[in-house]
Amino acid sequence: MPGNAEIINSGLDRIVAGYVFPERAAEADRAVRARLAAGEYDALSGAAFCAAVTTHLQEACPDKHLRLLWQDEPRSVEPADDDKGRAAFLALMRAENQGIRRSEQLDGNIGYLDVRWIPDAGQGARAIGAAMELVTHTRALLLDLRGCRGGSPAGAAMWCSYFFPDDEVHLNDFFERSTGSTRQYWTLPYLPAPRYLDRPVYVLTSATTFSGGEDVAYTLQAHGRAEVIGEVTEGGAHPTDRHPVTEHITVTVPTARTVNSVTGTNWEGVGVQPDRAVPADKALETAYGEVRKRLM
């Protein structure tokens, strides 16, 4: 079993080589190596060790995706296979009904969708379309992302596309450090269900809404297409690679950054700021009350 110094060295090497902001990676590297030299990790192991290093990484470089993760079950230390990683994500999305937990028509003909994951735009398209088909004739929509933990940027763009009239809305860009390239995301020209236009949309958030869920909330809010009700979200905007360090420890390294076409920035470290801040467990009640008044 590698010692703490070897684990930290390996993890920091990955961060310095791949993190989307090289200058911040260098700051995190210096900060954690100074703590290592001071013996701050000598008495730590397992989950406590990973938590301490993660805290220090994020103190030096505020990024919720930058982490040293502990997993109780041992995993292979072979380099991550992109195809296997994608296959595992697609399998998870199938098991999770492409992230769609619940669809309902509330009193007053208000649509409600509970979305827990943002799926792949290809395999998730039919499920997203089916969910949108069920609410297509409602007078307003409550999109509940309070339990959404992330997913695919392309899937987020597909979800957002339903709320715009055509394929001419530039949603955001993704800059990739390794290639120096930028990928643009626009609304899609074709969708498997009718678009949801000219009706109110409310997005519900919690302090644990993360990553892909934040993407949808932030994008719809920035483009003036939805109001966000709930809590400030967790604040993770950077697409991330995972690298095994030991059988129980993985370092996660953000390798790209999101740039919204309206704000010129993203929600990293600050979260999506709600238009109406209420506790997460009151968000549905609050949004439902507001939309009923709005439609009267």
Task: Report strand pairing: 256-260 vs 170-176.
Answer: antiparallel
Residue 144 pLDDT > 70: yes
| Domains of the chain and CATH, by start | 1-85+240-253 (3.30.750.44), 96-236+271-295 (3.90.226.10)
What is the mean predicted confidence (pLDDT) over 247-260?
Answer: 93
Task: Report strand pairing: 140-144 vs 249-254.
Answer: unpaired
The number of CA neighbours under 13 Å toward the Cβ of 190 is 4
Residue 9 pLDDT > 90: yes
Residue 240 pLDDT > 90: no
**Using 50, 70 and 90 to split pLDDT, how confident is the model at 195?**
very high
| CB contact at 8 A, 128 and 98 | yes
Residue 65 vs residue 135, higher pLDDT: 135
To which residue do tokens 């943002």 refer?
Answer: 118
Residue 293 pLDDT > 90: yes
C-alpha dist (Å) from residue 56 to 17, 49, 246: 19, 11, 20
**Using 50, 70 and 90 to split pLDDT, how confident is the model at 76?**
confident
Residue 162 pLDDT > 70: yes
Q: DSSP secondary-structure letter at 246? A: S
Task: Give the residue among 234, 233, 214, 230 at the shortest CA–CA distance from 222.
Answer: 214
